[in-house]
Amino acid sequence: MKTHKFWLVRLLVLVCIFAVGSVPMVYADAHEAGEEMAEEESSGASGWFRTDTDSLGTQIWVGASHSPSFLGGLSLDTDIYVVGTFGELDIGLGIPVVDSDSLSLSFLPMVGIGFDYADPNGPSSLIAPQLFTYLTAGSIYFESWIQGFFNSPFDYGDDSIYTRNFVLLSLNDTLSVGPQVEVTLGLGDEGGLSSLAPGLRANVGYGENNTLGVFVGFETQKDDDHTGITGRMTFVRTW
C-alpha cells in the first residue's frame, strides 16, 4: 500500500512539473499565433459598402481592395453594382502615386461587365474604360469618375461617356462641402450632351467609418416633362 502511495506521489509531482514547465511554451505558442493572425489581418483586404438613390433608383455597391505582396504596392480592386435586375462586376488596379500625411493621390483604372438578369442572353453592357481619381491635400478632397458605357454591341441601348467630379472642403471632423458636376455624353450618330448637372455636395460623418453624402444639382438639359432639380443620396461604410 505504501508502495502505491509512493508512486502516486511521484506521479503527481511529475505532472505538476510538466504543467508548470508547459505554461511558458503555451504562452509563447499563443503569442506567436496572435502575431500571425495580426499579420494576416494587416495584410488582408479592406472593404466598403455603398447605397445610392438617384434617378436610376436605389443601387447597391460592395467592393474590396486586396494588396498582395507580389503586386509591389499596387492593389487589386473589385466591386459589384446592383440596380433592379441589372448586375455589374468591375475589376481594376489601384495605383498609389503619392501617400504622405499632407498629400495623397491615387488612380484606379477598371473594366466592368454588366448583365441584365431579366434578359437571358448573356452580357448586356461593357463598362470600360473606367478611371477613378482620388486626391487628398490637407482639408481638400477631390474625386473624379470617368466611365464608358458600351451597350449597343449587346443591343441593350445607346453608348455613352459619363463623368462625375467634386471638390470638398473639410469644415471640421464631421462636415465637408463643395461643388460637384456630372456630365453624360451620348455617342453615335444621335449622340451629344444628354446631361449636365452642376450643384453642391455635402458629406456628413455618421460615426466611425460611415459617411452620408447629399448632392443637389440642376439638370441643364431638362425637357418639358422634368424639373431641373436633381441629386443623389449616398451612404458609404468602410472597414
Q: Where residue 184 sits, what CATH number does that domain have?
A: 2.40.160.40
Per-residue pLDDT band at 11 (split at 50, 70, 90): very low
- Please report the pLDDT score of residue 189 as a whole number: 83
- Please report the pLDDT score of residue 183 as a whole number: 98
Do both 148 and 90 map to the same domain? yes
pLDDT greater than 70 at residue 28: no
How far is the C-alpha of 13 from the C-alpha of 41, rounded, in Å?
A: 42
pLDDT greater than 80 at residue 75: yes
- Between residues 2 and 36, the one the model is more confident about: 36
Per-residue pLDDT band at 15 (split at 50, 70, 90): very low
pLDDT greater than 80 at residue 165: yes
Write the pLDDT tens digit of every residue in 120-161. Answer: 889 999 999 999 999 999 999 999 999 999 999 999 999 999
Segments forming the whole domain that contains residue 113: 46-238
Q: Could you give the number of structural domains in the chain? A: 2
Other C-beta atoms closer than 10 Å to the C-beta of 110 total 19
DSSP conformation class of 222: -
Do both 190 and 82 map to the same domain? yes
Do both 114 and 33 map to the same domain? no
Do both 4 and 38 map to the same domain? yes
Do both 136 and 121 map to the same domain? yes
Do both 170 and 215 map to the same domain? yes
Do both 69 and 172 map to the same domain? yes
Do both 36 and 50 map to the same domain? no
How far is the C-alpha of 77 from the C-alpha of 89, rounded, in Å?
A: 11
Write the pLDDT tens digit of every residue in 200-237. Answer: 999 999 999 999 999 999 999 987 777 799 999 999 99
Distances (CA, A) of 124 to 5, 45, 88, 97, 184: 83, 29, 10, 34, 19
Alpha carbon 90 to chain centroid distance?
11
pLDDT greater than 80 at residue 55: yes
Percent of the chain with pLDDT over 90: 75
The beta-strand segments (E) located in the chain are 46-54, 57-66, 75-83, 86-99, 103-116, 125-137, 140-150, 160-170, 175-186, 192-205, 210-218, 229-238
Q: Spell out the residues 6+ positions from residue 115 whose beta carbon is closer than 8 angstroms to its own.
A: 86, 87, 88, 122, 123, 124
Do both 1 and 86 map to the same domain? no
Alpha carbon 114 to chain centroid distance?
18
- Please report the pLDDT score of residue 227 as a whole number: 79
Do both 34 and 64 map to the same domain? no
**Region of 122 on the Ramachandran plot (φ > 0 left; ψ -120 to 50 alpha; else beta):** left
How far is the C-alpha of 118 from the C-alpha of 104, rounded, in Å?
A: 42
Q: How confident is the prediction for the chain on average, in pLDDT?
A: 87
Per-residue pLDDT band at 36 (split at 50, 70, 90): low
pLDDT greater than 50 at residue 7: no
